[in-house]
């Protein structure tokens, strides 16, 4: 599968602010390096992870939910 890895497109495959990582693979007779083979970013789920209501009026809190996402795309066949 390593030879099938392709560069990710910022803003399409991953957000622009994602961390992009290179990968080096062996293809037939040589090594190739893809500069944006993987990306890592936090995805906001849009839902709270926790909610808290206190004893006082107006006392509450919430922690936003995030998912750590690691993405890579391999194109196998057509």
Q: 3-class DSSP state for residue 3?
A: helix
The answer to which of 11-15, 48-52, 63-67 has the lowest mean pLDDT is 48-52
How does pLDDT run across 53-62, given as a tens digit for each residue?
778 887 778 8
How does pLDDT run across 8-38, given as a tens digit for each residue?
999 999 999 999 999 998 888 899 899 999 9
In the predicted structure, residue 78 carries a pLDDT above the cut 70: no
| C-alpha distances in Å from residue 17, one per residue of 21, 26, 38, 41, 78 | 13, 29, 13, 8, 30
The per-residue pLDDT for 49 is: 82
8 Å CB contact between 27 and 14: no
The per-residue pLDDT for 27 is: 81
The per-residue pLDDT for 76 is: 78
């Amino acid at each position: 599968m390593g030879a099938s890895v392709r560069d990710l497109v910022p803003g399409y495959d991953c957000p622009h602010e994602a961390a992009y990582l290179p990968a080096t693979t062996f293809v037939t007779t040589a090594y190739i390096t893809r500069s944006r083979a993987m990306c890592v970013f936090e995805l906001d789920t849009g839902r709270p992870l926790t909610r808290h209501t206190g004893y006082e009026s107006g006392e509450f809190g919430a922690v936003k939910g995030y998912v750590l996402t690691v993405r890579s795309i391999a194109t196998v066949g057509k």
